[in-house]
Amino acid sequence: MAKAREPFACLAVYDATMARLMDEAGVHVLLAGDSAAEVVLGLPRTIHMPIDFAMCITAAVRRGASHAHVMADMPFMSYQASPDEAMANAGRFMTEGQADSVKLEADESLAPLIDRMTRAGIPVCAHVGSRPQTAALTSGYTAAGRSEPEAERIVRDARALESAGAVLLLIEAVPSEVTLRVVEATSVPVIGIGAGTGCHGQILVVHDLLGLSTHPPRFALPAAQLAEPIVQAGREWVARVARSELGGKGYTMRPAKSVEAAPEQSRMGNR
């Protein structure tokens, strides 16, 4: 699709049911994102994502999706501590999580690790631009590439990571001019989020798409507003319970069955 300049759609999802629905909708790439730390677990930042939970949701998304490319999002400190630990964790995402690829937030310093993963047969998506796992360095989530030196650094990172073997790039929260420079400087598909329309693919968090987020990012335009209908459904359930009118069908006792012993069994019993 990238070669044909046909834009492909991606979403971050976290469970088998949503993966099945978005797969049926024709979404091409499903990311089991570390944003689950915030939108599923209610934690303050993506860096709090537990790796075992990440493994579980990746496998769940895989079980729900029959056609989509499933990408595992490697959590904070699952690949930064040591190359050996990073390799073992990436391998787990490919085997236990049954992912088609892994994503890690990276700059050119991680090129040797991506080279090693690629040589081991692990397809890597390198995440450049704004990187949420490093938000503590900038006192919170911020855009990237808004100055010429920053833009040059992002392009340099993208080139280095592609040269190391990354098969996909994801670029987040940068001016559209920077995105176009990355696309022109590389030859692999580039997925954007808050990075303009110049990418080969686009990704959003599914909660932002469905209007379920309290404070969606500025670049996320909901395609539906499902929060209020869900609240209304909850209110309807509260009202049903109060009225003792649950709806649906209940269960009834089975009729009792009389059991008569066969003659042969009776004689055997008498003996």
Closest CA relative to residue 179, chosen from 192, 189, 188, 166: 192
Degrees to nearest 5, angle at CA 72 with 13 and 164: 140
Catalytic entry in 85, 148, 172, 260: 172
Whether 162 is catalytic: no
Element (H, E) at 168: strand 168-172
Q: Is the Cβ–Cβ distance between 123 and 70 less than 8 Å?
A: no
Please enumerate in sequence order all residues whose Cβ is within 8 A of that of 190, keeping only pairs 6 or more positions apart, or say none.
Answer: 2, 158, 168, 169, 170, 171, 179, 182, 183, 199, 200, 201
Residues in the chain: 271
CB 60 within 8 A of CB 67: no
Catalytic residues, which ones? 172
